[in-house]
Structure 1
C-alpha cells in the first residue's frame, strides 16, 4: 500500500505527464489515500483532464476537486453564444437522436437534459461540449430510456464483470429493480470500481447505476 507521500509524488508526476494540463497551477494534498486537487485553471477542459489524470494513479481511494476555472479575457463568452455553440455541435453528432438533448447555460455552466437510448450517447454529449470556449462546467442530466425488460440482463452484467474485472467479479453482487442496477461488494482499487460500474452502464436499458462497492 502506498504512503500518502508516495501517492502525492505519483499524482504530481501524472499531472506533469499530461500535456493538456499546466501542472504548475494545481496543488495536490493527500490524506489517508484521499487526494485533493486545488488551484486555478484556464478552462473546464483542463480541469476535466486533471481529474482523469489523477484517476489513472493506482491506489487512489477517493478524489476531491477544489479547482476553480478562471477564464482568460480572450476565452470569455456570453451564455447565448455558448448555448448556440453547444446546440450546433450536438446537432453535428450523427449518433445522437435529433433534438434529443436540451441545453441550458448559466454563467458559462452548461446543463444537458433529455433522453437517449444508450449510456455512451450520454457521455458523448458531455464530451462534445466540454471543450467549447467559455465553458466553466458541465452538468449531465440526460436520462437513458429503457427499451427492454431488465429482468433477463443480470446474468449479462455479471458475465461482463467476470470478463473484465476477473478475480473481483466474484466479490461483486448485482441487483436489478426496474431500470436501476445496484452494485455491492468489494474491489481492490478505484480503477476496478470504475470498471465494474462501466460494465453495468454498458448494458442496454440501464437507467441508473447505484455504486455501493467498497475499496479494500
Structure 2
C-alpha cells in the first residue's frame, strides 16, 4: 500500500508525463488516499485530462477537483459563439439522432439536455463539446429513455462483468430498480471500479448508475 507521499509523487509524475497538461499550474494534495487537485488551467479539456491522469494512478481512493479554468485572451469567446459551435459539432456527430440535444451556454459553461437511448450517445455529445474553444465547464443533463426489464439489465451487467477477466464479478453486487443501477462491493484498484461502472453504463436501458464500490488497497 502506498503512503500519501508516494501517491502524491506518482500523481505529480503522471501529470508531468501527460503532454496535454501544464503540471506546474496544478497542485496535488493527498490524505488517506483521497486526492485533491487545485489550481488554474487554460482550458476545460486540460482540466478533464488532469482528472483522467490522476485517476489512472494506482492507489487513488477518491478524487476531489478544485481546479478552475482561466482562459487566455485568444481563447475567450462569447456565449453565442460557443453555442453556435456546439450546435454545429453535435449536428455532425454521427452517433446522435438529429435534433436530439439542446444546448444552453452561460458564462462559458455549456449545459446539454435532451433524450437518447444509450449512454454512449450521451458520452458522444459530451466528447464533441468539451474540446471547443471557450468552454469553461459542462453540465451533461442528457437523459436516457429506454424501456427494458430490470431483471434483464441485471443479468446483462453480471454476464458482462464475468466476460471481462480483470474484474472478479463475485466481488461486485448489482442492484437494479427500474432503469437505475447501484453497484457495491470491494475491488483491488480504481481501474476495476471504473471498468465495472463502464460495464453498467454500456448495458441497454440503464439511465443512472450509482457506483458505491469501495477500493480496498
**TM-score scaled by structure 1?**
0.96
1:209 aligns with 2:204: no
Alpha-carbon distance between aligned partners in 2 of 1:24 and 1:48, rounded to the nearest angstrom:
16
Residues 61-140 of structure 1: pairs in structure 2 closer than 5 A:
61-140=61-140
- Name stretches of at least 5 consecutive residues in structure 2 with no aligned partner: none
Going from structure 1 to structure 2, the CA distance change for 1:180 and 1:5 (only over 3 Å counts) comes to same
Alpha-carbon distance between aligned partners in 1 of 2:100 and 2:150, rounded to the nearest angstrom:
23
1:38-85 deviation line (CA, Å, top 9, x unaligned): 111110110000000111101110111111100011111110110010
Mean Cα deviation higher: 156-165 or 120-129: 156-165
Q: CA deviation at 1:163?
A: 2.1
Alpha-carbon distance between aligned partners in 2 of 1:50 and 1:13, rounded to the nearest angstrom:
12
1:14 aligns with 2:9: no
- Name stretches of at least 5 consecutive residues in structure 1 with no aligned partner: none
- Indicate the residue corresponding to 2:161 in structure 1: 161
**Cα root mean square deviation, aligned:** 1.2
Conservation of the 8 A alpha-carbon contact between 2:186 and 2:213: yes
Alpha-carbon distance between aligned partners in 1 of 2:147 and 2:167, rounded to the nearest angstrom:
31
1:38 aligns with 2:38: yes
Secondary structure of the residue aligned to 1:90 is helix
Conservation of the 8 A alpha-carbon contact between 2:161 and 2:167: no
Number of residues of Structure 1 aligned to a counterpart in Structure 2: 216
Secondary structure of the residue aligned to 1:2 is coil
Conservation of the 8 A alpha-carbon contact between 1:41 and 1:69: yes
